[in-house]
Amino acid sequence: MSAGPSYAYFEGKIVPIEEAKVSVMTHTLHYGTGAFGGIRAYWNDQAEELYIFRPLDHFKRVLNSAKLLLMDLPYTPESMLDILLELLRKENYREDTYIRPLVYKSTTQIGVRLHDLDDALTMFALPFGSYIPNEEGAKVTFSSWRRIDDNAIPARGKITGAYANSALIKTDAALSGYDEALVLNQDGHISEGSAENFFMVRDGVAITSPITANILEGITRRTIIQLLTEKLGIDVEVRPIDRTEVFVADEAFFCGTGVQVVAITEIDHRLVGSGTMGPVVGQLRDLYFNIVRGNIDHYRSWNVPVYGPQV
């Protein structure tokens, strides 16, 4: 793997990464008033092509988050994709890559607010492997932290300040020896993981929390719902999930751009199903990795090629 990144989009142009620097007085650095995205691009050796997975959906979500933060940015999802393509071609990556767009309040001023501040976009991309080590058998705990509520910091925005909540959750889980944590809402129902959405399978039906459960509206979650119904013929129920339902589920898994599809095989010392990766998660993982790498024609519209012709 090459080190990367060598470049960043910063202050309206692509510059060497060393030049992409902000002041210690930058508003977002103090008050968490930024928003970000996380996108993956997959290298396909046979096609000699780097495919970005659903970038327009990701950029649309970044701009929705910007809207929540009262930002005024001169970008569209399409113009952000143009920047990304230029950036990746300059990096010339021939390996799996993670892309981080970040919109932030660039004014160097003290004062908590959203209005009367300048807004900016930066973006960079780096080589990236897996995010959770035990992808086929993650050990998970219920966090003692609660998920931030829509009326406190909206979880549907990928708001930088909200990730203090995710960091508290992740670190407690990791330092206690777990791979990840599941997080409950104030009402005690399951929201999601620290940085991934949650599904479980009970009696042949897949179940996931609704977008009103303080979850990030995940693009992988949407992809998985479509694949479950369209490809695996499995019904998906979107409804509140009780904590103890997971203990009696047949299968459970996390999904997200970073984690991809990760089987949860143990939760708070109880085995999920038989304690090994189940058939639904197994099939989904195969399908997902084939799709993101650009190997399945039917879903090719989700893969944006970096080097070859744009369709």
Q: Is 13 a catalytic residue?
A: no
Contact status, residue 98 vs residue 126, Cβ threshold 8 Å: yes
Q: By C-beta, is 119 or 192 nearer to ligand PMP?
A: 192
Residue placing its CB nearer to ligand PMP in the complex, 207 or 219: 219
Which CB, 77 or 258, lies closer to ligand PMP? 258
* 57 strand-pairing partners: none
In the set 34, 256, 278, 305, which binds ligand PMP (CB under 6 A)? 256
Name the pairing type of β-strands 205-208 and 236-238. Answer: parallel
**Per-residue binding letters, 208-227, with ligand PMP (x by CB under 6 A):** --------x-xxxx------
Residue of 67, 90, 158, 170 marked active site: 158
Q: Which two tokens stand for residue 4?
A: 């990367």
Establish if 160 lies at the interface with ligand PMP (CB under 6 A): no
CB of 138 to ligand PMP, least distance (A): 15
Among 192, 261, 272, 280, binds ligand PMP (CB under 6 A): 192
Question: Which helix (H) or strand (E) element contains residue 225?
Answer: helix 219-230
Q: Which is nearer to ligand PMP, 196 or 266 (CB)?
A: 196
3-state helix, strand, coil in the chain (%, to 5): 30, 30, 40
Stretch that binds ligand PMP, among 6-14, 45-53, 109-117, 256-264 (CB under 6 A): 256-264
Residue listed under structure tokens 């019904």: 235
Tell me the pairing of strands 13-16 and 7-10: antiparallel
CA atoms of 300 and 311, how far apart (whole Å): 10
Size of interface with ligand PMP, in residues (CB under 6 A):
14
38 binds ligand PMP (CB under 6 A): yes
Is 159 a binder of ligand PMP (CB under 6 A)?
no
77 binding ligand PMP? (CB under 6 A): no
Q: What letter represents residue 66's amino acid?
A: A
What CA–CA distance (Å, rounded) separates 180 from 193? Answer: 7
- The two most distant CA atoms of the chain are separated, in Å, by 56
Tell me the catalytic residues.
Answer: 158
- Residues of this chain that interact with ligand PMP (CB under 6 A) are 38, 166, 192, 195-197, 216, 218-221, 256-258
